[in-house]
Amino acid sequence: MTQSATVVNVDGLRVAYGGTEVVHGVSFQLRRGSRLGVVGESGSGKSTIARAILGLLPSEGRVTDGRITLLGTDVVQRTDKEMNDLRGRVVSLVFQDPLTSLDPVKRIGKQIAEVIVQHDKKLPRPEVRKRCVTLLNEVGVNDAERRLEQYPHEISGGMRQRVLIAIAIANQPDVLIADEPTTALDVTTQAQVLDLLKTTADRHGMSVILVTHDLGVVAEFCDEVVVMKTGEIVETGTARQLFSAPREDYTRHLLDCIPRAGDRRPGPEFDYQVETEPVVRVTGLRKQYGRTTVLEDVDLAIHARETVGIVGESGAGKSTLARTIIRLETPSGGTVELAGADFGRARSKRLRELRRDIQMVFQDPFSSLDPHMQIQDIVAQPLIVHGLADRAAARTRAAAMLDGMGLGTEYLERVPRNLSGGQRQRVAIARALILGPALTVLDEPISALDVSVRAQVLDLLREEQLALGTAYLFIVHDLAVARYFCDRIAVLFEGRIVEYGTPEDLFENPVHPHTKRLLGAIPDPWRNN
């Protein structure tokens, strides 16, 4: 590796917000033509580094020490004016969340043209327009002429991300910084966008820094990796070496959190040979909003101790299915039988009584716990509501339950704000399971959590299932997790179940084309490396 081949050199970088240092002396290099992944959980400082390279830290952020060299010139020493000349021409950004990364009141064409005109003020207008069209074609946006006249809200999320990429590559910069470019996208769209980034970077000889929390994405995309934790670098290396022989415990821990093919959650497999009466039987379930049908003809039977996974892309109706079964939404048709009772049509008092047997764990533990309540009261509440215990007894049982989940007495009187994401989700699980429900609906219970705590939460869910015998309906978008955790998996597509079977059936012999497409898009860190 020679010096001239290095396009970005970060050396001993320290960044502080106000008085708090968040990046503590980070060094790494980006070689010409290579793709470097910066991986870390929330709070690792990875996005801060990306912004520092562009010279666009938030107003209270400062580089307190170290150097960032971009093609031989020091970014930190340059004025904002000098940086304007580099940004968009030499280095550019593909930002996370395409929904908010385009100005909502400006047409697409105008936003692409802006970056072209900025660095070539004399270019005649028709020429600019022609280049916009070429760019859109290059990033695979069809009907480019028409798109130029559209507003961001009129096109899909995947297409917006493509437009952002078009903006980023417009002047063929040497360095492309991609900050969580696929986090907000579906698995299938994610695969396409990564592919697009890779081919365009190759074609124009661009070097890429990819900032992400997702090791799977890194494995698909990068050839070198920097692993970060709380503002420091834990490990640096090639992708191959990192995935095959990680040196540090933290890296190993992160890798362990990704379920591999063949991994299986603990406990005995569900025995489908034994005939039992299902605890929940959903028949012909339908949900409409106005004229739009979101769910159509859904049949499910879930037994005690069984975990049924629901997978599918966003918009397939996964969440609506969960919410309709638990009666946060009223079914438009079909039945939901809960231990023989007609739960789908129960009303008022009867409905509230039946709820004792069907509970839910929500996706976001930050919003599913009342910020004004103490942990012990949150968990005790269901017992009190159903008259199963008085306040004191309910608190005692809640304390015991939480203790079993690793949240000791010191947590009981805290409010949710003072807990980490993983701890909050434990509280949410305790609240759902303290009633010993027949069925617990898990709506993406781990996707809002940091990678390193996901496995713990899954293990906890499994332990409790084995102890209590509850059945799980597990809504999940991550197929690897579904394979690891579920007894059977239903693939939801446009509101219908298109395939239903055990993980082996599904992964070995997918029948429906949509299932095949989903499976093909799963990033697998060990496939290439």
Partner 1 sequence: MFRDIRQRLAASVVTIVLASFVSFVVLRALPGDPARLIAGPLAGQETIEATRRGLGLDEPFFAQYGLFLWDFVRGDWGYSFSVGEQVRTALTSRLAATFELALYAFLLAIVGALVCASVASFRPGLRRGLVRLFALVGLGSPPFWVGLVLIVVFSAQLGWWPGPSGRLSPQLVPPPSVTGFHTIDFALQGDIIGVSDSAAHLVLPVLSLALLPWAFLTRLLTANMADTAVQPYILVVRSKGVAAWPTHVRHVLANSLLPTVSSCGLILATMITGSVLVETVFNWPGVGAMLTEGISSQDFALVQSFILLSAILYVIGNLVGDAVNRMIDARLRTSGAAQ
Partner 2 sequence: MAVTVTAAPTMASRRPWPRIITIIVLAAYLTLAIAGIFVQDQSNVADVTNTLQQPSAEHLLGTDGEGRDVLTRVAVGAGISIMLAAISVVLGSVGGLIVALACGLGARWLDRVLMAPMNAVLAFPQLLLTMAIAIALGTGLQSAVIGIVVTIIPVFAVTLRGEALRSRSEAFVEAAITIGLPRWRIALRHVVPYLGTTMTIQVAANFGNAVITLAALSYIGVGARPPTAEWGAMINDGLQHAVSGQWWVGVAPGLALLGLVIAVNILTDQIRARRSADA
Residues that bind partner 1 (CB under 8 A): 51, 54, 56, 58-59, 80-81, 84-89, 92-93, 95-97, 100-106, 114-115, 118-119, 151, 153-154, 164, 167-168
* 139 contacts 165 by C-beta, under 8 angstroms: yes
What residue type is assigned to position 276 of the chain?
Answer: T
User: Other CB atoms closer than 10 Å to residue 352's CB: what's the count?
Assistant: 12
Q: Which is nearer to partner 1, 173 or 231 (CB)?
A: 173
CB 17 within 8 A of CB 204: no
* Nearest-approach distance from CB 118 to partner 1, in angstroms: 5
For residue 129, the partner it binds in partner 2, partner 1, none, with Cβ less than 5 to 8 A by kind, is none
Instruction: Say whether residue 100 binds partner 2 (CB under 8 A).
Output: no
420 binds partner 2 (CB under 8 A): yes
32 interface partner picked from partner 1, partner 2, none, CB below 5 to 8 A per type:
none
Identify what 151 binds: partner 1, partner 2, none; CB under 5 to 8 Å per kind.
partner 1
Instruction: Residue 230: name its binding partner from partner 1, partner 2, none (Cβ under 5 to 8 Å by kind).
Output: partner 2
- What are the residues facing 9 on neighbouring strands? 29, 69
State the nearest-atom distance from the C-beta of 59 to partner 1, in Å: 7
d(C-alpha 409, C-alpha 390), whole Å? 20
Closest separation between CB of residue 209 and partner 1, Å?
13
Q: Tell me which residues in 314-353 interact with partner 2 (CB under 8 A).
A: 326-328, 352-353
Q: Which does 89 bind (CB under 5 to 8 A by kind): partner 1, partner 2, none?
A: partner 1
Residue 259, judged by CB atoms within 10 A of its CB (0-12, 13-18, 19+), counts as buried
Tokens of 359: 């509970």
The token duo for 382 is: 């269901």
Q: Are 27 and 13 in contact (CB under 8 A)?
A: yes
Nearer to partner 2 (CB atom), residue 301 or residue 415:
415
Q: Which residue has the tokens 């597990």?
A: 474
Whichever of 118 and 381 has its CB closer to partner 2, that residue is 381
How far out from the chain centre does Cα 454 lie? 12
CA distance 482 to 451: 15
- Rank residues 362 and 472 by Cβ distance to partner 2 and give the closer one: 362
The rounded distance, in Å, linking the Cα atoms of 133 and 113 is 10
Torsion of CA 411, 414, 416, 420, to 10 degrees: -40
Q: Which is nearer to partner 1, 57 or 389 (CB)?
A: 57
Distances (CA, A) of 38 to 10, 73, 271: 12, 22, 43
Strands of the 6-17 sheet, one edge to the other: 20-31, 6-17, 61-70, 73-74
Per-residue binding letters, 211-250, with partner 2 (x by CB under 8 A):
-------------------x--------------------
Residue closer to partner 2 by CB (options 165, 358) is 358
> Residue 449, interface with partner 2 (CB under 8 A)?
no
Closest approach of partner 1 to the CB of residue 102, in Å? 6
How do beta strands 91-94 and 73-74 pair?
unpaired
Q: Which of partner 2, partner 1, none sits in contact with 367, Cβ below 5 to 8 A by type? A: partner 2
Residue in 99, 125, 103, 100 with CA at minimum distance from that of residue 113: 125
Rounded distance, CA 63 to CA 45, Å? Answer: 13
56, 385, 400, 467: which one binds partner 2 (CB under 8 A): 385
> In this chain, which of 368, 376, 425, 470 binds partner 2, going by CB under 8 A?
368
Residues near partner 2 (CB under 8 A): 17-20, 22, 41-43, 58, 60-61, 230, 326-328, 352-353, 355-356, 358-360, 362-364, 367-372, 381-382, 385-386, 417-418, 420-423, 428, 431, 450, 453
